[in-house]
Structure 1
Amino acid sequence: MTIAEELRSRNFSIYGQWAGIISMVLCFGLGIGNIFLFHWVILFAVICLICSFVILFVEVPLLLRVCPTSSTFDTFIRRFETNYMRAAIYLAMSVIQWISIAVKTTSLIVAAIVLLITACFYALAGVKGQGFVGSKTLGGHGVAQMIV
């Protein structure tokens, strides 16, 4: 299945997964961009950077097999295999970035918005009763088994 076919599938978990990848890139870039501000925003920038790496492992399951990680981290990441759990973690990450606005208004608001959109996609998939379907492009559905 190509990326275009995945996007035409009308499965909100696929949309959520691709929005998650966009969120990861934005969190990484905006986290680095805001870490140089000499203000309390540095704390939120570091949290945004950490979120980008958590998103990477949540959305690309192949990395859990390829990268050497601890069993505690693997157990933590595997909690987010359902649409509702993914919606919850993205909502929590979004709320943290929304709180950063109280400290100082920065570009981290973009990360908060995209994380919220991603949470909405996963929540819609859960409400519609769509099971989580991982993108084959990102290492879902047997790709990890083919490599190992």
Structure 2
Amino acid sequence: MTLKEEFATRNFSIYGQWLGILSMIVCFAVGLSNIITFDLLIIPFSIICFISSFVILFIEVPLLLRICPTSSSFDAAIRKVTTNYMRAATYGVMALVQWLSIIRNATSLIAAAVLLTFTGVCYGLAGLKGQAFVGSKTLGGAGVAQMIV
């Protein structure tokens, strides 16, 4: 199945997965860039955003759990985030943390908050519509991880 065919399925979990990848890139960039600010109240939010990018990477690309050396407790925690509702909740919590960062002042962390919110909404809609989670073959879903073993 090509990427175009995946998007044509109108499964919100596919949209959520690709928005998750975009969120990961944005979280990495804005988290890293805001770490060097002089505002001591923004730095913890920046660090959380930066760490969130790596968590998202392992959530959205399941192939990495097989090839990257990680602890068994980390693997177990990531494997719990498999359903659409769990993914929506995970992205919702990450988005809430970034929305809280604008209490002090508005920074580029808003971009991460917006994308994380959209990703959570897509997974939430997939859950509400009763759509099963479908992993993109491009990102290592649908049996690609099992082919390596």
TM-score class, shorter: over 0.9
1:38 counterpart residue number: 38
| Secondary structure of 1:137 counterpart | helix
How far did residue 103 of structure 1 move?
A: 1.7
Deviations 1:115-142 (A, max 9, x none): 0000000000000000100000000011
Runs of 4+ that moved beyond 3 A: none
- Percent identity among equivalent residues? 64
How many aligned positions are there?
A: 148
Structural mapping, 1:7-18, within 5 Å = 7-18=7-18
Deviations 1:47-91 (A, max 9, x none): 000100000000000000000111100010011100000000000
Counterpart of 1:92, as a letter, is V
Structural mapping, 1:1-148, within 5 Å = 1-39=1-39, 40-148=41-149
CA distance in 1, matches of 2:2, 2:70: 30
How far did residue 147 of structure 1 move?
A: 1.4
Counterpart of 2:111, as a letter, is V
CA distance in 1, matches of 2:83, 2:111: 25
CA distance in 1, matches of 2:83, 2:9: 18
CA distance in 1, matches of 2:72, 2:141: 20
How far did residue 146 of structure 1 move?
A: 0.9
Q: TM-score, normalised by structure 2?
A: 0.98
Deviations 1:16-36 (A, max 9, x none): 000000000000000011111
How far did residue 104 of structure 1 move?
A: 1.8
Instruction: Show structure 2 runs of 5+ residues with no match.
Output: none
